[in-house]
Structure 1
Amino acid sequence: MAALPVNLDMDVLRTFVTGIDLGSFAKAATRLGRSPSAISLQLRKLEDQVGQPLLRRNGRGLALTEPGEMLLGYARRLLDLNDAALGAVAAPALAGRVRLGLPQDFAETELPTVLARFARLHPGVRVEAHVERDAVLRAEVEAGRLDLALVWDATGAAGEGSLIARLPLVWVGPRTEAGLAADRPLPLALFGPPCLFRQAATGALDAAGIPWRVAFSSPGLAGLWAAVAAGLGITLRTPHGLPPTLRRLDPDESGLPSLPGLALRLVRGMAGADPSVERFAALLRETFADAAAVRT
């Protein structure tokens, strides 16, 4: 008589995927509301089910084994299918449109992940994504042309939208340069005004008594990355999505001033609550909470 196939436990798979995405199973325990010992038992159960070690020691942390990497892809698809099935059966199918605005920083990182997952869960909803600078996004929300927008907030005020993540600001230079040139005034690559990052960079340098000049100005993030990689100047951004041609500059080593953090907030249009918009907003909060936790 043939042995019955093993059924993978969806809760255990979710723990496995959450721990890998957050970069820590201790963080996964907090996120999922379980104790660290319960998480360890779940991981052992999963390894027993597949008959392979899924994790290995890597210095003071953990890394995936080859079977673990293979299982991770299947686990993501199984969880997405599980969530889509429950969403389709447990609630009426969503329909309509969501108009989203977001900064260029996330157009090639979080945005594809969010759009793909939302499309699988809610294929009847059309999502329109508008990638613009902060001032444009705020104006579009106020004019009622966007339902949701991710915007930067340097003030830390609690009155605008909902807090999505707090990200540090860092100086960014070319990967290949051993150290900053002693050029004075300091060459900068920045967006044109109005721009919170430009204000933060020039304000910090002025406060530190470091002369500066704008050596390169671009309306797009790709242009800034290219200019910095070419050595035309340094810039200031969050550490999110830095290309491999660039690196964070340590203020202690470079003589640059330290910088405060920046809040990312989700603001909404004036339209009333719409189930499609609410579901997309919840998915955005979940996605960016995971991304912020990985960078912590």
Structure 2
Amino acid sequence: MASSTFSRAARTNLDLDTLRTLAVASDRGGLAQAAEHLGRTPSAISLQMKRLQEDLGTPIFRKRGRGLALTEAGEIALSYARRMLGLNDELLDKMHGANLAGRIRLGCPQDFASILPSVLSLFASLYPRMQIELHVDGNAALRDAIDNARLDVAIIIGHEDRAGAQIVGRLALAWIASSTFVLPKKQPLPLAVLGSQCIFRRTALQRLEAAHIPHRISANSHSLNGLWAALLGGLGITARTPLNLPEGLVCAESLHGLPPLGSLPVTLHRHAGSQGVTSDRMASLLVEALEFALQSNTATGSMALARNDVAPRVAKHKAR
């Protein structure tokens, strides 16, 4: 028992500041870059890394050309360092956040509403006294709300040219229709769409006009649920993301031989006056959730393409 107690007491306690330096050096591409970012001298950073190697009892760097690279042990150390720093930061956020009170106004398009529960749950656990005001709306309306200080943080599809926009990733688009939808013969392509400001609607119309494919608006809805109902009812075809696709609908990049739609940027916007710890944390949680959702969107789109893009082509619908 005495030996076990001595062993625990003799353990080395790693310095979190040194572990953070290791993580910064990895993110920035080297010790010199870490020194510049952290406002320290290169010799001070080198001394930190030397002490870390001594504490770990194994080399964590190897020479690579004129610089240094992580050894296998160094990669393991970096992985643990990130986990330890994450717990450290989460603990501090939770302790400090328990006393923060106020309101944060969040905007999100309907397509990404499914990522919100996990984001809101974690945010609420960190800042239990903060009031969250949630707005699910169209992209143009969200951008106007940011401009007019009615929102603090917003996810928006498109609008990457606006001041302060942070591009998080790109959203793959697809044509979507009922699994039983059949193209009408010798008639314009029927489209089910949202309002005139909808970026998906504009993208679809541009692609069809560029390909000289006759089309008409067969169904117009003010909500995403209304659009899904129109599609399931066989009223037409639409352009959108494969995210959260209801059962009974199929999608593909060139469904029924229609021209590919490409992708749109997904952007994060913050009002200039919404700086602060809670706003920063909400933004970081949204970015993390968005990146995961966009990866899933790409995978879903690829599978849908392989599964559904076998329908007849629409060359006969093109203007002669």
Instruction: Please give the range of the TM-score, normalised by the shorter of the 2 chains.
Output: 0.5 to 0.7
Question: Deviation digits for residues 70-111 of structure 1, max 9, x if unmatched?
Answer: xxxxxxxxxx9998645324777433211011111122x111
1:216 to 205, 219, 232: 219
Q: Are residues 1:139 and 2:144 paired?
A: yes
3-state SS of the aligned residue for 2:293?
Answer: helix
- Tell me the CA shift for residue 189 of structure 1: 0.5
Tell me: CA distance 1:85–1:190, structure 2 relative to 1, closer, same or farther (3 Å): same
3-state SS of the aligned residue for 1:192?
Answer: coil
3-state SS of the aligned residue for 1:128?
Answer: strand
Q: Give the Cα–Cα distance (whole angstroms) in 1 for the partners of residues 191 and 132 of structure 2.
A: 36
Tell me: CA distance 1:249–1:293, structure 2 relative to 1, closer, same or farther (3 Å): closer
Q: Give the Cα–Cα distance (whole angstroms) in 1 for the partners of residues 71 and 179 of structure 2.
A: 41
Q: Which amino acid aligns with 2:103?
A: R
1:204 to 195, 204, 207: 207
3-state SS of the aligned residue for 2:143?
Answer: helix
Q: Give the Cα–Cα distance (whole angstroms) in 1 for the partners of residues 89 and 266 of structure 2.
A: 27
Question: Deviation digits for residues 234-278 of structure 1, max 9, x if unmatched?
Answer: 111111111122110351x61201112101101111315121111
**Partner of 1:117 in structure 2?**
122
Q: Give the Cα–Cα distance (whole angstroms) in 2 for the partners of residues 250 and 134 of structure 1.
A: 22
Q: Are residues 1:94 and 2:100 paired?
A: yes
Tell me: CA distance 1:82–1:241, structure 2 relative to 1, closer, same or farther (3 Å): farther
Identity fraction in percent = 41
Q: Which structure 2 residue ranges, 5 or more long, are not aligned?
A: 1-69, 80-85, 299-320
3-state SS of the aligned residue for 1:127?
Answer: strand
Question: For this pair of structures, how many residues does the alignment match?
Answer: 221
- Tell me the CA shift for residue 140 of structure 1: 1.2
**Partner of 2:246 in structure 1?**
243
- Tell me the CA shift for residue 181 of structure 1: 3.9
Q: Give the Cα–Cα distance (whole angstroms) in 2 for the partners of residues 82 and 176 of structure 1.
A: 53
Question: Which residues of 2 match residues 254-273 of structure 1 at below 5 A?
Answer: 254-273=256-275
Question: Which residues of 2 match residues 17-56 of structure 1 at below 5 A?
Answer: none
Q: Give the Cα–Cα distance (whole angstroms) in 1 for the partners of residues 282 and 183 of structure 2.
A: 43
Q: Give the Cα–Cα distance (whole angstroms) in 2 for the partners of residues 160 and 183 of structure 1.
A: 47
**Partner of 2:281 in structure 1?**
279
Question: Deviation digits for residues 41-88 of structure 1, max 9, x if unmatched?
Answer: x9xxxxxxxxxxxxxxxxxxxxxxxxxxxxxxxxxxxxx999864532
Select between 268-277 and 230-239 the one with higher mean Cα deviation. 268-277
Asked if structure 2 preserves the Cα contact closer than 8 Å seen for 1:175 and 1:244, the reply is: no
- Tell me the CA shift for residue 221 of structure 1: 0.4
1:193 to 188, 193, 196: 196
Q: Please tell me the root mean square deviation across aligned C-alpha atoms, in Å.
A: 3.0
Question: Deviation digits for residues 92-135 of structure 1, max 9, x if unmatched?
Answer: 7433211011111122x111221112112221211111011112
Select between 157-166 and 256-265 the one with higher mean Cα deviation. 157-166
Q: Give the Cα–Cα distance (whole angstroms) in 2 for the partners of residues 140 and 294 of structure 1.
A: 28
**Partner of 1:174 in structure 2?**
178
1:161 to 165, 170, 174: 165
Tell me: CA distance 1:144–1:157, structure 2 relative to 1, closer, same or farther (3 Å): closer
Decide which structure has the larger Cα Rg and report it.
2
Question: Which residues of 2 match residues 56-67 of structure 1 at below 5 A?
Answer: none
- Tell me the CA shift for residue 142 of structure 1: 1.1
Q: Give the Cα–Cα distance (whole angstroms) in 1 for the partners of residues 105 and 119 of structure 2.
A: 14
- Tell me the CA shift for residue 295 of structure 1: 3.0
2:231 to 225, 228, 233: 228
Asked if structure 2 preserves the Cα contact closer than 8 Å seen for 1:204 and 1:257, the reply is: yes
Q: Which amino acid aligns with 2:102?
A: G
Tell me: CA distance 1:206–1:87, structure 2 relative to 1, closer, same or farther (3 Å): same
Q: Which has the higher contact order (CA 8 A, sep 6+)?
A: 1
- Tell me the CA shift for residue 183 of structure 1: 5.5
